[in-house]
Amino acid sequence: METILDTLKLYEDLKGAFTDEQAHKLSDVLKEVEKSRIDALATKADIISLEGEIKLLESRLNVKYAVIFFAILLSNPKILDIIGKIFSFIK
């Protein structure tokens, strides 16, 4: 689990090395950087989730196309005759 930046603690740490105003500004900047990083992680997770959904939809479409293809094949009497000959040969 990602941790959120503790800006109050960061501000206190920075106060020792910088002026109060500088420490406050640095704390705010680092807080925004952390927020951007967390937003980027959420975006990456969303993209991965969407990729999974797209793959699922592609597989469903492939099945539908296969069913349509076989329905077209089976509606052709010549194809049915060839299939019958293949099965009679296998027996």
Residue 57: pLDDT above 80? yes
User: Is 40 part of any domain?
Assistant: yes
User: Is 1 part of any domain?
Assistant: no
User: Is 51 part of any domain?
Assistant: yes
Tell me the pTM. Answer: 0.40
pLDDT in tens, 1-31: 445 566 677 777 777 777 788 877 877 887 8
User: Is 80 part of any domain?
Assistant: yes
Structurally, the chain folds into a number of domains equal to: 1
User: Is 27 part of any domain?
Assistant: yes
Domain of 24, in residue numbers: 7-90
User: Is 2 part of any domain?
Assistant: no
Sequential DSSP letters for the chain: -PPPP-HHHHHHHHHTTS-HHHHHHHHHHHHHHHHHHHHHHHHHHHHHHHHHHHHHHHHHHHHHHHHHHHHHHHT-HHHHHHHHHHHHHH-
Check residue 91 and give its pLDDT: 61
